[in-house]
Amino acid sequence: MISPSSIDQVFETARVEEVIGDFVNLKKAGSNFKGLSPFSDERTPSFMVSPVKQIWKDFSTGKGGNVVAFLMEHEHFTYPEAIKYLAKKYNIEIEETQQTNEQKEAADERESLYLVSEFASSYFQKILHKTDQGKSIGLSYFKERGFTEETIKKFDLGYSLDEWQAFTDEALKQGYNIDYLGKTGLTIVKEDKRFDRFKGRVMFPIKSMSGRVLGFGGRILINDKKAAKYVNSPESVIYYKSKVLYGIYHAKQSIAKEDNCFLVEGYTDVIQFHQTGVKNVVSSSGTALTSEQIRLINRLTKNITVLFDGDAAGMRASLRGIDLILEQGMNVKVCTFPEGEDPDSFAKQNTLEELSLYLEEKSKDFIQFKASVLYEDSKGDPIKKAETVRDIVNSISKIPDRIKKEIYIQECARIMDISEEVLFSTLAQINKKEFQEENKQFKKEQKAFEVIKHQQPVKKVDVQYVLERKIIELLLLYGNKVEDFEDLVLKENDKGDLILEPVIQEAKVFEKIYLDLQDDEMQFSNEQFRALYYTIIDRLNQNPDFDLKMFINSVDQETSNQITTILMEDERYVLDDWQRMNIFPKEKINTVAQLVSETILSLRCFLIDQKVKEFQQETLQHKNDVNKNVLEEVKDYSGLKMLLSRKLNRVL
């Protein structure tokens, strides 16, 4: 268990915009930050972070909450793990009790797999640095590759003993369950036999964006034709190859800062680049690039530079990845190294200045690269040249932005010495074919939608729900703020007519709301709002220094998400960037008293209207026996509603 004082210190120190900024490329939007949702596939920002309120909201999925809620949603952390992650990030020492073997086994499967992977990473590092075999074989290999001691430790590189059960035996001895050792792939279990998957290999831990160990890559160091050079962990509930990029944990901040990501193929390419000083680099770990991996980069930058070695065959095979990147609306450049060189060897032989200059000068636009690679095959062959041109235009067709498409068509026409008209015509043919497919799918979906549309009536706006929600928002944002309120006192004038007489009174917002609702005996119809209302009123009444951030952190996850949804609703419109269109909404803080008064008056009007409708219904049901008292009540309520509406400047 983590002590309450440690949890409080973590919440006081952690900044939601800094933590989320490690996972999402955030851009300033007024007093907030916005970015692409890390929980859905989108191309326009719907994710909002509020540094003032220390909360976030993802409008595309409805998720939201505080900094811990983000880590629990995004990284699948448990609550204690999220606290530990933040403590590590902000160098906070936390008090906690040691986990027993029973507690380790009691953890859920996902958490158990993480625990096993973390243990394995520590074990392989210890073997590398503390054993004779590790030092003479594993450490020697890494140093031959040119890796320094600091780099080896930074990437948690390790070594697995060349023994059949060394790791498995140690893990079982430490209390880890054989089922979880098998599910991570660290141990291969066959009936009553069990042995280490990574026997006699140097180890590369594969980490998530937050630094959790998901799996491993292991390289064999002996010449064995029967054994694969590299072996990766099999997929599990925590490790999906298609959704992971090697090095993303160490590269994320640099990618966002440099606004560019270098994409390489191998583990050592990443490590060598990082050691040389180019840190915004990741690897697909030898697998074909996937759309999920690209979206991972897309959260941090719109720019990718793909790095290839001099192998022409390998470059052609990798061209498919470029189209995937373009489909995501990203900007792609390509850089190749001299024949016989790869990113690892080139970075090893050059200084940071030389490497940076080479990358800057040799990086080509994807069209120039594709043209240069494919053109070599089509020299003197008109048919092959036509195929090359169509291939390039096909790549251009993947780009969502129409302006970029046109610019790239012009560039392709220049490079390939062909008229723009022909290229635009080819592009139109490709787009038409795609449009027809999309249109066919759209009509199918539209037909299904028509059926649903006829079945479901249009849902009306629940006015009372909206007003009750607004009251909760006002309490959360301004509960302790002192304002001058213009109260309306109902009086009879000399003629006996009801009039509303204004009286100025100073009060805290929460006192004003509470007393007005009490006076009118108004109750919340929404049960969740009712419970939240009394909780907030109680906290405000007991604590004059009510802190919104600490309040959100103190409630359960469901309530926290509900509060975040209420508080961030208005921020949705910041995503539309109104100021860019010279529209400047009035600051809410300047009209708090007016907002409170109008909200309560609106709720009164709504409830009066409901009461009048009840009386009218009663009158219709008893046409022959109309109660004069009922008619008088209707008249009085209607008159009161008219007065309130006049105060609200509304026409009935």
Mean per-residue pLDDT, 295-323: 79
Angle made by CA atoms 624, 626, 631, in degrees to the nearest 5: 155
Q: Where are the domains of the chain?
A: 4-89, 101-239, 248-429, 463-647
Which residue do the tokens 């990147």 mark? Answer: 325
What's the pLDDT score for residue 629?
55
In 3D space, the residue among 260, 252, 250 whose CA is nearest the CA of residue 204 turns out to be: 250
* Rounded (10°) CA dihedral 539, 542, 547, 550: -60
pLDDT digits (tens, 9 = 90+) for 53-81: 899 999 888 889 999 999 988 887 888 88
pLDDT digits (tens, 9 = 90+) for 589-640: 557 888 888 888 788 778 777 766 766 666 666 555 555 555 555 555 555 5
Amino acid at 207: K
Instruction: Describe the chain by its helix, strand, coil percentages, rounded to 5.
Output: 55, 15, 30
CA distance 642 to 601: 12
| Residue 82 vs residues 14, 25, 520: alpha-carbon distances, Å | 11, 20, 45
Amino acid at 124: F
Phi/psi at 304 (nearest 5 deg)?
A: -125, 135
What's the pLDDT score for residue 8?
86
What's the pLDDT score for residue 623?
55
CA distance 254 to 22: 10
Pick the more confident residue, 544 or 151.
151
Tell me: pLDDT of 447 over 80.
no
Contact in structure between 631 and 623 (CB atoms under 8 Å) = no
Query: What is the separation of C-alpha 568 from the centre of its chain, rounded to a whole number of angstroms?
Result: 16
pLDDT digits (tens, 9 = 90+) for 416-429: 888 889 888 888 88
**Architecture category of domain 4-89 in CATH:** Alpha-Beta Complex (3.90)
CA distance 411 to 254: 31
Amino acid at 10: V
Pick the more confident residue, 586 or 190.
190
Contact in structure between 326 and 395 (CB atoms under 8 Å) = yes
CA distance 396 to 427: 8
CA distance 41 to 628: 63
Tell me: pLDDT of 305 over 60.
yes
Beta strand 193-196 pairing with 187-190: antiparallel
pLDDT grade, residue 17 (50/70/90)?
very high
Tell me: pLDDT of 154 over 80.
yes
CATH class of 101-239: alpha beta
pLDDT grade, residue 550 (50/70/90)?
confident
- State the DSSP H helix or E strand holding residue 194, giving kind and residue range, or none if neither: strand 193-196
Tell me: pLDDT of 150 over 80.
yes
Residue 627, helix vs strand vs coil: coil
- CATH number belonging to the domain at 248-429, selected among 3.90.550.50, 3.40.1360.10, 3.40.50.720, 3.90.1170.50: 3.40.1360.10
What's the pLDDT score for residue 440?
58
Mean per-residue pLDDT, 497-520: 80
Tell me: pLDDT of 452 over 70.
no
Pick the more confident residue, 158 or 442.
158
Range among 93-102, 105-114, 143-152, 286-295 rated most confident: 143-152
Residue 288, helix vs strand vs coil: coil
What's the pLDDT score for residue 449?
46
pLDDT digits (tens, 9 = 90+) for 214-248: 999 999 998 877 788 999 999 999 999 999 999 99
CA distance 412 to 397: 12
Beta strand 303-308 pairing with 331-336: parallel
DSSP one-letter string for 42-110: -SS--EEEETTTTEEEETTT--EESHHHHHHHHS---HHHHHHHHHHHTT----BPPPPHHHHHHS-HH
Beta strand 47-50 pairing with 32-35: antiparallel
Burial bucket for residue 538 (CB in 10 Å: 0-12, 13-18, 19+): exposed
Tell me: pLDDT of 547 over 80.
yes
Tell me: pLDDT of 460 over 90.
no
What's the pLDDT score for residue 185?
96
Contact in structure between 353 and 426 (CB atoms under 8 Å) = no
Question: Residue 526 carries which DSSP code?
Answer: S
Tell me: pLDDT of 435 over 80.
no
Which residue do the tokens 């105060």 mark? Answer: 647
Question: Residue 186 carries which DSSP code?
Answer: S
- State the DSSP H helix or E strand holding residue 617, giving kind and residue range, or none if neither: helix 592-621
Tell me the whole-structure pTM to 2 decimals. 0.72
pLDDT digits (tens, 9 = 90+) for 352-410: 999 999 999 999 888 878 777 766 666 677 888 888 888 888 888 888 888 888 888 89
pLDDT grade, residue 189 (50/70/90)?
very high
Percent of the chain having pLDDT more than 70? 80
DSSP one-letter string for 363-407: -EEHHHHHHHHHHHHHTT-HHHHHHHHHHHHHHHHT-S-HHHHHH
pLDDT grade, residue 562 (50/70/90)?
confident
CA distance 307 to 358: 12
Hey, how many other C-beta atoms are within 10 angstroms of the C-beta on 148?
11
> Both tokens of residue 438?
């999309």
Tell me: pLDDT of 646 over 80.
no
In 3D space, the residue among 92, 94, 113, 96 whose CA is nearest the CA of residue 104 turns out to be: 113
- State the DSSP H helix or E strand holding residue 539, giving kind and residue range, or none if neither: helix 527-542
What's the pLDDT score for residue 228?
86
pLDDT digits (tens, 9 = 90+) for 95-142: 876 666 666 655 578 888 999 999 999 999 999 999 999 999 999 999
N- to C-terminal Cα distance for the chain?
Answer: 60
Tell me: pLDDT of 651 over 50.
no
pLDDT grade, residue 650 (50/70/90)?
very low
In 3D space, the residue among 306, 217, 209, 299 whose CA is nearest the CA of residue 251 turns out to be: 209
Q: Which ranges of 259-364 would DSSP assign to H, the alpha helix?
A: 267-276, 291-298, 312-327, 343-349, 352-362
> Both tokens of residue 324?
């995937």
Tell me: pLDDT of 577 over 60.
no
CA distance 491 to 499: 5
Amino acid at 542: Q
Q: What is the CA radius of gyration of the chain?
A: 32
Contact in structure between 175 and 105 (CB atoms under 8 Å) = yes
